[in-house]
Structure 1
Amino acid sequence: MNRSQVAFVVSFFSTSIILFTLSQFVRKQLADAGYHISDIILYGLNTTDYNRADEVTGESSWGLMDDLKHILTPQAFALTLAVITTVFLYVKVAHRRRKPVLNPQAWQEFPLKEKIVISPNTAIYRFALPHPQDVLGLPIGQHISVSAEINGKDIMRSYTPTSSDDDLGHFDLLIKSYEKGNISRMFSLLKLGDKVRIKGPKGQFNYSPTLATSIGMIAGGTGITPMLQIIRASLKNPMDKTKLSLIYANVNFEDILLKKELDELVDVNPDRFTVYYVLNNAPEGWKGGVGFVAKDQIQTYLPPTADDVKILMCGPPPMMNAMKKHLEELKYPAPRTVSKLVDQDVYPRSTWNGLLIDGAQVQCGLHIGTLLPTGYQINPVLANNPKSKGFGALRASTLPPE
């Protein structure tokens, strides 16, 4: 439950209690004055015989009004004021956020506030916003650009924060560092207080509760980050009824990022969210998938094709190529791009083909939807490299750099 929802629940119950207390107070005062609440509606009505209508007067109703004026004591006024104050406080709490910090036209620097180690080469990097009540201002489904000068060259990568605008005063980036990486290695060397340059939002995809009735997701490695952003946003919205299904592939068990959180989300939302893990090197007793993500697994664990169903994908390009083939054979519509990598202003459109995530290739896509980038840059070498195409049986893992 997010901050706004908590504020609403607290204010709702507080107001209800105050109104109930006020009603009981007024009821008691009326009873002490000789009026029963069930009889009040009769006051002022003609209860005499129509043949004696000339004897009817309005004294009863005016007498009640005089008594009500007497009953409206300072205590009743105080209770009414409490109701107004409660509503005012709710509005202040629910809308106290400052304007979004991100500016798509300007680079800004943010200091590292905290580093949460996930594994030896993976961590969540938490960056502070200028004010504790600030929000990043990133729409669900979009990403940010990170820039740094490395060896005299300006290097830029795109990342999808795992945090949302419900997280005030900071934003989180889940990053896996590579020995030969540029930006990812730079992140691993950051110390608390060090700053990074950020610009965004980037992309044209915006998630909404009405996007689809069911969404299937296929993620490999760090490709989980854009999926997690959407999963969190959907599941914490009580008005969102979208059903989510995730197939998450990795090489080893220890490579599964944020598994504990994913499993907890399944436990809390069993009717809306499912996860099926696939490992290339499965440990003894493993109950998930083994090897590559297969067509029958997609058919079993993802929603069937329909007009109101979408399939999100993010992972290594060979894996994505294999998944596209599986989806086509299962009669899913062909993917279309609405979040273009050209937004990064790195290379022209003609170089779209392979993607490089700091030494590991990653490609993202949405059948009937979008491309969701996370921590990668177009690699022009792969555009004419036959090794980046035509893989048959493909491992659900990141590839070594070319």
Structure 2
Amino acid sequence: MDFLQEQSVETTVAVAVAVAAVAAGGAFLLLRSRKPKGCLDPENFRKFKLVEKKQISHNVARFKFALPTPTSVLGLPIGQHISCRGQDATGEEVIKPYTPTTLDSDLGYFELVIKMYPQGRMSHHFREMKVGDYLSVKGPKGRFKYHVGQVRAFGMLAGGSGITPMFQVARAILENPNDNTKVHLIYANVTYEDILLKDELDDMAKTYPGRFKIYYVLNQCFYLCSLLRTGTVVLGLCLRK
């Protein structure tokens, strides 16, 4: 009788341990399958701290903003943008849309590449920002959302600072191992120096030669020749005013 009782107790303990292990494993898989909650609010502005400001050219800078934790994600669907709020030179409020160059795979931060125009109202705000300042952001915004397999090939046309939304979508497509979409991007600028994210775009073309093609268009022959000397693919002829 004592032997049977001991066997019963051992069996009960073994079953309990097995159930606990299954429950723990299920909880772990559930947590892994859940997408982290984004930090954006579509109705209210939230503030994010500027942790790095890097000048790329005389009028372009890269701004890196910290999210609440090192594992936080911005929560911006591919193809959408955010609204940024600031003050112009007169102190009046100004709101303008921007598209981050980072994705939700970049944990703990997001980045904006901003071209600052002399008379731009929001440009003034970014030009005056210093590390430690906060930017008010609201989103997501926009009607377009990209989904894997939505199209077989993407044809993109961008000019100047309009490259950022194209860069966001192209990067999301190319970095997704489950997405076979091809991307062809025509990018127009006035001069060679005006080309934003050129190193990143060229790296993408080298990394994904069968899926990403970039064509640069300039409207000054001098800079067109400069591009040709570097071996960069250029589409079309020089445009004259």
Write the distance in 1 (CA, Å) between the matches of 2:42 and 2:69: 19
- What is the TM-score when the length of structure 2 is the normalising length? 0.80
CA contact (8 A) 2:151 2:181 kept: yes
Using the TM superposition, give the Cα deviation of residue 285 of structure 1 relative to its aligned residue in structure 2, in angstroms.
5.0
Q: What is the percentage of aligned positions where both structures have the same residue? A: 47
Query: Among residues 160, 182, 185, which one is paired with 2:124 in the alignment?
Result: 185
Write out aligned runs for 1:233-248 (5 A).
233-248=172-187
For residues 164-187 of structure 1, the C-alpha deviation after alignment (integer angstroms, 9 at most, x for no partner) is: 111111111110011111111211
Match of 1:251 in 2: 190
1:291 corresponds in structure 2 to 238
Give RMSD over aligned pairs. Answer: 2.3
1:3-402 pair list within 5 angstroms: 91=29, 94=32, 98-150=36-88, 151-282=90-221, 283=223, 284=225, 286-287=227-228, 288=234, 289-292=236-239
- Tell me the number of residue pairs that the alignment of Structure 1 and Structure 2 aligns: 209
Deviation digits for residues 322-343 of structure 1 (CA, Å, limit 9, x no counterpart): xxxxxxxxxxxxxxxxxxxxxx
Change (3 A) 1:185 1:290: farther
What's the secondary structure of 2:124's corresponding residue? Answer: helix
Provide the secondary structure at the position in 2 that maps to 1:199: strand
The answer on whether the counterparts of 2:156 and 2:166 sit within 8 Å (CA) in structure 1 is yes
Q: 1:103 to 1:279 in 2, by over 3 A?
A: same
Matching residue's letter, 1:100 = G
Q: Secondary structure at the match of 1:209?
A: coil
Higher Rg of the two aligned structures = 1
| Greater percentage in helix | 1
Gaps in structure 2 of 5+ consecutive residues: 1-21, 229-233
TM-score normalised over the length of structure 1: 0.49
Q: Does structure 2 retain, via aligned residues, the 8 Å contact 1:217–1:245?
A: yes
Alpha carbons 1:96, 1:133 under 8 Å: kept: no
| Contact map agreement 1:141 1:205 (CA 8 A) in 2 | yes
CA distance in 2, matches of 1:192, 1:127: 9
Is there any run of 5+ residues in structure 1 with no aligned partner, and where?
A: 1-83, 293-392, 396-402
Q: What is the CA–CA distance in structure 1 between the aligned matches of 2:150 and 2:35, rounded to whole Å?
A: 26
Larger CA deviation: 148-157 vs 188-197: 148-157
- Other-structure match for 1:398: none
1:97 touches 1:133 (CA, 8 Å); kept in 2?
no
**Paired position in structure 2 for 1:301:** none
Q: How far is 1:291 from its partner?
A: 2.3
Residues 263 and 92 (structure 1), Cα distance of their counterparts in 2 relative to 1, 3 Å cut: farther
Report which structure shows greater RCO (CA 8 Å, sep ≥6). 2
Q: Please tell me the residue identity of whatever aligns with 2:69.
A: H
Question: For residues 226 and 98 of structure 2, what CA distance do their matches in structure 1 show?
Answer: 35
Q: Deviations over 1:283-305 (max 9, x none)?
A: 3354324424xxxxxxxxxxxxx
Q: Residues of 1 paired with 2:137 and 2:146: CA distance?
A: 22
**1:133-172 deviation line (CA, Å, top 9, x unaligned):** 1111000001110112332422110001111111111111
